[in-house]
Chains A and B, each alone.
Chain A
Amino acid sequence: MGVSLDSPSNYITTSLRHAINWGRKYSLWPMPFGTACCAIEFMGAVGAMSDISRFGAEAVRFSPRQSDLLLVAGTISYKQAPILKLIYEQMVEPKWVISMGVCASSGGFYNNYGTLQGIDRIIPVDFYVAGCPPTPENLLNALVKLQQKVDEEGLEAVKERHRVQKSA
């Protein structure tokens, strides 16, 4: 990145990839698919103590069409599964998924007839957050990791996402 302060109109030179990713990573709009205990800790992360807005992700949208980060917080039952899949499909690219807590990641200690054994059986997941429920700090850690991932994503990957969506 090059910065020029000499000329009368200050400007920065950078690659398109950097510029796009820089904008994306600091404005992840989460769609909290909160079903259970983890949703309470997500609310903790939004609260003043943890303050998710420090990371630019406080614009919580409950409409999947307005968000680019699906935050699955809580146990997903088989009854809930088709709804989660529908919500994921309604989100536009580029989109990312964080699976918050062990229930969403693997079913947790609910290995039984009602609980989906991990959301990765029905939708792709970018980051899994450990904990039952994870602390807000742990969730923020995943968010920061996700920002790094977004930052490293090449334009090809972004194009690929669009291509996949078109063909799907």
Chain B
Amino acid sequence: MSRRALDRVQERFGGQILETNDYLGDESITVAAGDLPQVLEFLRDDPQCDFKLLLDVVGVDYPDRPQRFDVVYNLRSLDQGQRIRVKTRVAEGEAVPTASGLWHNANWHEREVYDLFGVEFSGHPDLRRILCHHEFEGHALRKDYPIEKGQMCYTVEKLLPEEAVLPGRETRHEGHWNAEGGWEGAPGVALADEIHSDYLPVNIGPSHPATHGALRIEALLDGETIVRSEAEIGYLHRCFEKEAEDHTWHQIIPYTDRLNYVSALTNNVGYVLAVEKMLQLEVPERTRAIRVIVSEMGRIMDHLVCTGTNLVDIGALTNYWYTWNAREYLYDVVERLCGERLTTSYTRIGGLYRDLYEGFEDDLRGALKKVEQGVQDMMALVQRNRILMDRTVGVGVISAEEAVRWGYTGPCLRASGVAYDVRKAMPYSGYENYDFDIPVGENGDAYDRIMVRIEEIYQSISIIRQALDTLPGGPVQADDRRVVFPPKDEVYNSIEGMMNHFKLVFEGIRVPKGEGYGFIEAANGELGFYAVSDGSGRPYRVKVRPPCFPIFASFTTLIQGSMVPDAIAILGGLNIVAGELDR
């Protein structure tokens, strides 16, 4: 099915396609930087290609090549169910034409490539740093930038330009700011104008209870209405990708815990699936089923936190105790399973850290009952609650089309009515064997986002129960000594076993040369790992596709024209987890 796009592109562009590749079933094409806009536009608009979703823009640095940088656009077609990777190569100082006119979220993705690699994008509306601070010098993900070279930051950047904070004459309610910073829309009279006052710039975050410690928004207020805002991220940029290049493939697993730390189990699964794809490694049936169970546990925990904190942010504190108690019951099971409550590191490449403990099934079934009870209690309080509905219905609405253009995935996309779920679209780990529904919303507002998450909790509980019912026996490690440690008695009693263990620990797994993109449905959307291996024991490049990155990119547009309290209600429902956003 997915060959079609590759053929279509070749038919249309012929000699302009420099290279095609379908290693591991991931189609990829390489084009010259100058041809990039028309190829991308064709891929997006051609009905048989239909790549409406831009997943990610990745930079890769090859210092030895004359054209030093790869810039990779990962695309996904929702209707045709296919993926493609469009690559271009540029030298230092050479610019890539921007794709921000085609997909809204390309703006931030390209800023990230600019920040970390120094690749220029011509025609980009706002090419500034995004993850590193504004006093940072150099480009951190270049191979010649030493990982430990930290740079102090002494000042805080101003986000809104001075001229924006003018009396209201130039700004009006019925319209929006365009990408160039100009005003589009019908004239009207701003409140600030009526009372002869200025707009009020307000800084929200990063130390603000609703911004979860690591987001910053500078909003320009007319009374209580936000007329313009700028968002900044990067306050929790912990350099996951640089760390990944500095570690062996196995050592990265603990770092994946701390991406979306609310559902670490799901991240663990996503990462090892990507590496196993590159190794072309099959894991036992039991492992696959256990991975489904733990990823669904992660999803439930994530949704509980998201819903609970969202409700707290809009004043419904009681629900926090319900959701948090439910989460604590799951924590108990997780802690018994892997020794940690939050940062689990439960999976291994080729298997799991260890098999389920005795009594796991009873514990989990008991915990799920309590989770169900907790969610029901909470729903009794909020589902038809007048105050909640007033605060969330019709607030932060995003249409299906716009959501796709912003690169939304996961519950936020489904709340807008698009039934895209990786578990159904491209099942992994045996999701095709379980019977579950994909809840979708109608209006794409904050209320729908809460309700979709709640329904997903019930679906996840059902998946876990099915998986527990049909849990197969057998080992949990793949039988492949290139990857999996030998049993302890072999390590201690035979020279081959000891050497095998030594090599795996000190040199790491040798992943074949090449690149792969592994993806799963994480709690907040499609979590992708794009990895490049040079055949050594360490990855050459690992790029995470964080689901909330494009979602937060749309935030300033979502809150345009709404009130400050609405912005808080919207932000909670988007479930922005800073560890994943900033990596």
Contacts and interface: CB of A to CB of B under 8 A. Distances in A.
Interface of A: 33-37, 39-41, 43-44, 47-49, 62, 74-75, 77-83, 86-87, 109-117, 132-133, 135
Contacts of A132: 343
B198 interface: no
Given A41-B342, A78-B152, A47 B328 contact: yes
Contacts of A79: 132-133, 153, 234-235, 237
A112 B341 contact: no
B238 A75 contact: yes
B140 A35 contact: no
A115 B261 contact: no
A110 B243 CA distance: 8
B149 interface: yes
B239 A44 contact: no
A112 B148 contact: yes
A36 B262 CA distance: 10
27 contacts: A35-B206, A35-B213, A36-B213, A36-B238, A37-B342, A39-B212, A43-B305, A47-B324, A48-B324, A62-B209, A78-B150, A78-B152, A79-B133, A81-B153, A83-B156, A83-B206, A83-B207, A83-B235, A109-B254, A110-B238, A113-B149, A113-B150, A113-B239, A114-B132, A115-B238, A117-B150, A132-B343
A117 B490 CA distance: 40
A118 B151 CA distance: 14
B494 interface: no
A115 B153 contact: no
Given A47-B325, A48-B324, A109-B255, 13 more contacts: A35-B213, A35-B578, A36-B213, A36-B261, A44-B328, A47-B328, A77-B133, A77-B236, A79-B133, A80-B236, A81-B153, A110-B239, A133-B342
Contacts of A33: 207, 213
A52 to B, nearest CB: 12
B214 A112 contact: no
Nearest to B151: A78
A113 B147 contact: yes
A36 B258 contact: yes
A115 B239 contact: yes
A112 B239 contact: yes
Contacts of B369: none
Contact of B213 (A34, A41, A112, A117): A34
B12 interface: no
B150 A114 contact: yes
A112 B156 contact: no
Interface string B127-165: 000011100100010000111111111111000000000
Interface in B172-228: 206-209, 212-214
A115 B240 CA distance: 11
Contacts of A39: 212-213
